[in-house]
Amino acid sequence: MTAKIIDGKEISAKMRGEIAKDVAKIKAEKGIIVGLAVILVGNDPASEIYVKNKEKAAHAIGMNSYLFRLAADISQEDLIAKIHELNRNPNIHGLLVQLPLPKKIDTKKIIHAIDPRKDVDGFNIINVGKLSVGDIEGVDGALIPCTPLGCMHLLKEVIGKNLVGMKVLVIGTSNIVGRPLSRLLLLEKATVTIANSATKDLKAECLQADVIISAAGVAGLIRGDMVKKDAIVIDVGINRIATADGKGRLVGDVDFDSVRNIAKAITPVPGGVGPMTISYLLKNTLNCCLKIIK
């Protein structure tokens, strides 16, 4: 039997419909339009595409989206001053700085300048710390990074609510995906293994796992012979590979064709985790607004 394809696009569309209703309700009841601000420094082509997609998605559900384009040679002080200005702006409820930043800028200092209450990426140290200690509920709970939230949502679509005791292998330890995702899984009482590029026998780790979530950024890293029968495979990776026509093609970390014959369920790339990441950015922005106007 071939694996169920977990359709991130469809799940995402449903979620955005719900968010749009809440955005409209806030507008009708309070006269407030939920606002997301994105700062883009320089013109990295991949960042341009990501930012455009975020803007489009925000507009589509009735949010205001403000894009601030800043020159690649902006000083760190001027960038921080801009962030402080947006932190104070009452029309902006969520704020993110598109990464990566030019090398001369200290990314940590920039992220930490964002008001933790508007930090929709969940990268500010206050939010990272809260997630670390499991402080994720209520008005003061952590804002959690969008991609891990999207992965958890997709996983629960297959497993249901209960992840207790499941063996989950997370591949990748970045602050954007692997680490926050592992913390979320631990909070659900999953048994979590975290692999990185120095992991000695990735195949052996994979074969133990009920769930594999790969965020390594390596095309073809996970093949069918590495996956336990009926495991669930969530593919976070986005890799561009060459094609004969010279246009290239996006693939994940997982060799989809060989894994789909073994796994119980699998996310495609594109159309799996990617759309969920944007949906959780919108959801985080909505939640920021609800907390701020409370």
Instruction: List residues binding ligand NAD (CB under 6 A).
Output: 147, 171-174, 176-178, 195-197, 199, 202, 215-218, 221, 236-239, 273-274, 277
The set of catalytic residues is: 54, 98, 121
Asked if residues 253 and 219 have their Cβ atoms less than 8 Å apart, the reply is yes
Closest CA to 251 of 222, 219, 215: 219
Cβ closest to ligand NAD, residue 74 vs residue 155: 155
Q: How far apart are CA 206 and CA 212, in angstroms?
A: 7
CB of 237 to ligand NAD, least distance (A): 4
CA of 30: how far to CAs of 50, 62, 120, in Å?
31, 15, 22
Q: How far apart are CA 1 and CA 19, in angstroms?
A: 36
Asked if residues 259 and 239 have their Cβ atoms less than 8 Å apart, the reply is no
Q: How far apart are CA 131 and CA 99, in angstroms?
A: 21
Per-residue b or e along 207-244, where b marks 16 or more CB atoms closer than 10 Å to that residue's CB: bebbbbbbbbbebebbeeebbbeebbbbbbbbbeeeee
CB of 288 to ligand NAD, least distance (A): 20
CB of 78 to ligand NAD, least distance (A): 26
Neighbours of 50 (CB within 10 A): 17
CB of 140 to ligand NAD, least distance (A): 26
